[in-house]
Structure 1
Amino acid sequence: MRRLEALSNTIFGVAMTLLAYDLPKARGFAKAPSWIDLANAYAQPLIALMISFIVAGMFWFSHHRRLAVAPEGSRGEVFLNLIFLLSIIILPVTNGLYGTYRLDSVVAVVYGVHLTFVATLNALLWLLALRGRGDPELLATAIFPVFALVFGTVMAAVAPFVAQFLWCLAFGAPLAGWLAARRWPPRAN
């Protein structure tokens, strides 16, 4: 799992850096841009970049926390981790699409489905890491983003502008974990 951790650091670092690849370049302007030109060129891609960067950072943190909780894993768990990392590698692709066509419902749904897939893989890996342990805080923290992202993705089909705000609910995962820990204290092993 230590080798997987080193690989994941590289993958997350490269994927998070590539999120900026689709930002408009200065050569795209025929002359020095006005404030309105800059806002029109950069607003959508920057919103997508910020959402994707924060989401990737959240999953990077969760991934490292999970590897600390379960420092050993089966061959199947390593393979599932690799699929999780593949879903992170694809993030710059869907981010670029979303940054260009953020208010299109089809694109917003594709982006939301991708984020939900990443969250679902993360939650599944947490379920495997917490097998036999009664830790409602970690479990709720892992599962909550899936529900928030599904809700936002469903909304993306009818109101793509609203979906971006609903996806941000996934960042409430620590609060969901805290509430779960208060409601269901961890059981003794």
Structure 2
Amino acid sequence: MTLPQIGLFEMRRLEMLSNTIFGVAMTLLAYDLPKASSFKEAPTWIGLIHVYAQPVIALMISFVVAGLFWFSHHRRLAVAPEAGRGVVFLNLLFLLSIIILPVTNGLYGGYRLDGVVAVIYGLHLTMIATLNLLLWILALRGQSNPHLLVTAVVPVLVFLLGTAVAFVSPMLAQFTWGLAFLAPIAGWFAERRAKR
């Protein structure tokens, strides 16, 4: 086992912290789901949809977003297993943005069709994606890997577009944000193109 260079941190310690943060944040996403006690009697199908539709849609979007960024985070730590103090602090800022996700998710789940709330949620998703992109740029310094870079750029662009759409139509924004999940496909195309 080689010792890390002086001034570099082993990212495996950050990986352990990030697993905990992502796990807790992803679990807390369900905290704001309505409880059975919100019904005075057995609910009808329409009653269930009325009470649960918005929070469950928000939960699903946020859970998948968090899962994709967890996956990206671990891939990035594997690409750059050591980093300087600045990168470690930037990773901590990225993890802070994940910790806040249950808060904006709860707000979005309660008021998903409100323009202000949808924009706040979109700005938060954009912030997470932008921090992820900055960390990928730092991790890939000196390396040519268009696949990983494109996979990190696409969510930023999609979340920016979705946030702009939220100003006009909060209902359409949720579908626009869903396009961020196509980032791996865009990365695959970038990799194929680079191999030609």
TM norm. shorter chain > 0.5: yes
8, 25, 34: which one aligns with 2:44? 34
CA distance in 2, matches of 1:144, 1:74: 26
Q: CA deviation at 1:76?
A: 0.4
158, 167, 171: which one aligns with 2:181? 171
Sequence identity percentage = 72
CA distance in 2, matches of 1:125, 1:30: 49
CA distance in 1, matches of 2:171, 2:96: 28
88, 101, 104: which one aligns with 2:114? 104
Alignment root-mean-square deviation, CA: 0.9
Identify the residue that residue 10 of structure 1 maps to in structure 2: 20
SS in structure 1 at match of 2:126? helix
1:90-134 Cα offsets, whole Å, 9 max, x none, are: 000000000000001110000000000000000000000000001
The 5-angstrom pairing of residues 86-125 of structure 1 reads: 86-125=96-135
The 5-angstrom pairing of residues 18-57 of structure 1 reads: 18-57=28-67
Q: CA deviation at 1:181?
A: 1.3
Identify the residue that residue 74 of structure 1 maps to in structure 2: 84
CA distance in 2, matches of 1:103, 1:89: 23
Q: CA deviation at 1:185?
A: 3.4
Q: What is the TM-score of this pair, normalised by structure 1?
A: 0.97
SS in structure 2 at match of 1:184? helix
Is contact 1:136-1:185 (8 Å) kept? no
Q: Which blocks of at least 5 consecutive residues in structure 2 are unaligned?
A: 1-10
Identify the residue that residue 159 of structure 1 maps to in structure 2: 169
CA distance in 2, matches of 1:28, 1:173: 38
Alignment size in residue pairs:
186
Q: CA deviation at 1:184?
A: 2.5
CA distance in 2, matches of 1:85, 1:185: 34
Q: Which blocks of at least 5 consecutive residues in structure 1 are unaligned?
A: none
1:140-159 Cα offsets, whole Å, 9 max, x none, are: 01111100110011000101
